Amino acid sequence: MLRLMIVKIIRWLLVKLGRGGSLPGNIGLKMDSQLLSRFKMPKHVILVTGTNGKTTTSNLIVESLLASGMKVIGNRRGDNLREGIATLLCANSDLHYRVKADAVVLEVDELTIPRVFDQLPVSAFVVNNFFRDQLDRAGEMETIVRKIESVLPDYRGKLILNGNDPNVVRLADCAKQAEVLYFDVKQCAVSLSDSHEASEGKFCPRCGGELHYDYYQYSHIGQFSCPRDGFGRHEAAVCVESIDFNTQTMVV
Give the alpha-carbon dihedral of 177, 179, 180, 183, to 10 degrees: -160
pLDDT means over runs of 10, the chain (252 residues): 88 82 92 96 98 95 97 92 96 96 97 95 97 65 93 97 97 97 96 80 91 93 96 96 94 95
Cβ pair 122, 32 in contact under 8 A: no
Residues pairing with 159 in the sheet: 125, 180
Q: What is the pLDDT of residue 212?
A: 95
| Closest by Cα among 189, 136, 144 to 170 | 144
CB 166 within 8 A of CB 232: yes
Q: What are the domain boundaries of the chain?
A: 2-184
Return d(Cα 149, Cα 127) in angstroms, integer.
12
Which pLDDT belongs to residue 36? Answer: 97
pTM of the model: 0.93
**Nearest one of 100, 88, 159, 148 to 125, comparing CA atoms:** 159
Q: How many residues does the chain have?
A: 252
At position 106, the amino acid (one-letter code) is L
pLDDT at 132: 82
Which numeric CATH code is attached to 2-184? Answer: 3.40.1190.10
pLDDT at 137: 55
